[in-house]
Structure 1
């Protein structure tokens, strides 16, 4: 009898342990719960590494995807792509009028785009002027660390007339708090460290990709980068709207995430020779 009771008690303890583990797993998927590293998560939190340009624009900026209309100065069509697009048919994009592109190279200090070579080299081979971008996650590591990770992962630059300077993609955090848990001053300091490290490594000032509403919320609408770093602004509407402080004009404008062929579509603020000029530095 004593042996029987011992086995029964053991089974009960195992069953109780299973229930507790299942309950814990459920709690970790509830809104507001935290993952093992303390990052807030929900049941629809995307997989780390899956972030891409403009991921939060529609949700947070309240804009649709209507293409620009009406008369405007000469602009040059471009796209940006990430692993979501897989192997891209660059010939079709070129034929449609797309003349420049940016390819996601890295994210944080933990992810490299597995399609980077096909996308980066493929766009170059059809004649496009192309560059690479880094999706920043300032809560993971320092600005210097991520800038080095980006350059080492494909975000470098060469004066060949077809390579654009790297882009710091700084926007809403798809995995947690919008401003990555940083104060406005801390965010500005992080961005500055990234930009300074990138320039030290490549000799070029990186482009800053952001949305005006995020920039205002998370940097306090800081105006100190406009004199040195080209602006790539995200706003999905018929007009670009208000720009972040410090910039009197935009260099690139991401106007929709629903391109007619593939990727997010953008307008360079000038004719193709201005794209070449940015590439040459």
Structure 2
């Protein structure tokens, strides 16, 4: 009898230690969001690809519309001043991965709308922490939705260099394409809109193998130079070009490829 009790208590002790070890390993595996407030559309592209010529305003408002993008990095934005400086549209960082929400999101997203600027939200992708569907749902739960009010752009997915480690988040091209597809499909299923895809041609080539199958998504391409240059495969033209990481508007500077009717089309879908 004593022997059976001793064996039973030994089993309980081993199970308890195993549980403690599991919890410790799980805690150690929690993803890091250190520095997430400083991760914004293009922060890693500028770091890896450089910033070259800063173009002047080359187009009339009939050809291109000036806009910008902001994140918690900019803090609270003076939206009447941005509108007065010519901002026609803006993308605002909402989320990163499945564990970070921009603390300035409400002020930036609602404030731009109140100033008459067409606004949209974007998500900084973390393929290393969870799947694309989970991140689309997290984004939608924290401000990334879309409404057909003519003043809201479809949510954008920011695909760029990994600020925490390996450039492609440890994925091969097929895995990355599947990840982007899961995000895009989930977002479209829930909103009826394809999300805009933000990226650079260099990153897209390196991490998706220059996959050409996302041409139905609006393209927001980053290139800090006086010309837009080569686009990723599958897109005949960009919808938005992020041409500079600083300028007259808060945050990064963007051209919408078209007139006010193009902006309305992007907002209404």
TM-score normalised according to structure 2 size: 0.85
1:244 aligns with 2:232: yes
Deviation at 1:260, TM superposition (A): 2.3
- Contact kept, 8 Å, 1:48 with 1:175, in 2: the verdict is no
2:142 to 128, 136, 153: 153
1:87 to 57, 69, 76: 76
Taking the aligned partners of 1:186 and 1:49, their CA distance within structure 2 comes to 27
1:182 aligns with 2:155: no
2:39 to 37, 40, 51: 51
RMSD: 2.0
- Contact kept, 8 Å, 2:212 with 2:232, in 1: the verdict is yes
- Contact kept, 8 Å, 1:58 with 1:64, in 2: the verdict is no
Deviation at 1:38, TM superposition (A): 9.3
Taking the aligned partners of 1:71 and 1:265, their CA distance within structure 2 comes to 14
Are residues 202 and 71 of structure 1, via their aligned partners in 2, closer, same or farther at CA, if it must alter by over 3 Å?
closer
Deviation at 1:261, TM superposition (A): 3.8
Deviation at 1:48, TM superposition (A): 3.6
Aligned residues: 242
Deviation at 1:71, TM superposition (A): 5.7
Q: Deviations over 1:216-237 (max 9, x none)?
A: 00000000001x1010000000
Deviation at 1:202, TM superposition (A): 0.7
Taking the aligned partners of 1:66 and 1:81, their CA distance within structure 2 comes to 18
* Residue 153 of structure 2: aligned partner: 164
Secondary structure (helix, strand or coil) at the match of 1:97 reads coil
Deviation at 1:51, TM superposition (A): 1.2
Deviation at 1:46, TM superposition (A): 5.6
1:76 to 40, 62, 65: 65
- Contact kept, 8 Å, 1:53 with 1:169, in 2: the verdict is yes
1:274 to 232, 251, 262: 262
* Residue 232 of structure 1: aligned partner: 220
1:193 aligns with 2:182: yes
Taking the aligned partners of 2:52 and 2:160, their CA distance within structure 1 comes to 17
Are residues 128 and 71 of structure 1, via their aligned partners in 2, closer, same or farther at CA, if it must alter by over 3 Å?
closer
* Residue 99 of structure 2: aligned partner: 110
Are residues 103 and 69 of structure 1, via their aligned partners in 2, closer, same or farther at CA, if it must alter by over 3 Å?
closer
1:213 aligns with 2:202: yes
- Contact kept, 8 Å, 2:37 with 2:72, in 1: the verdict is no
TM-score normalised according to structure 1 size: 0.82
* Residue 257 of structure 1: aligned partner: 245
- Contact kept, 8 Å, 1:165 with 1:204, in 2: the verdict is yes
Q: Deviations over 1:219-258 (max 9, x none)?
A: 00000001x1010000000000000000000000001111
- Contact kept, 8 Å, 1:65 with 1:257, in 2: the verdict is no
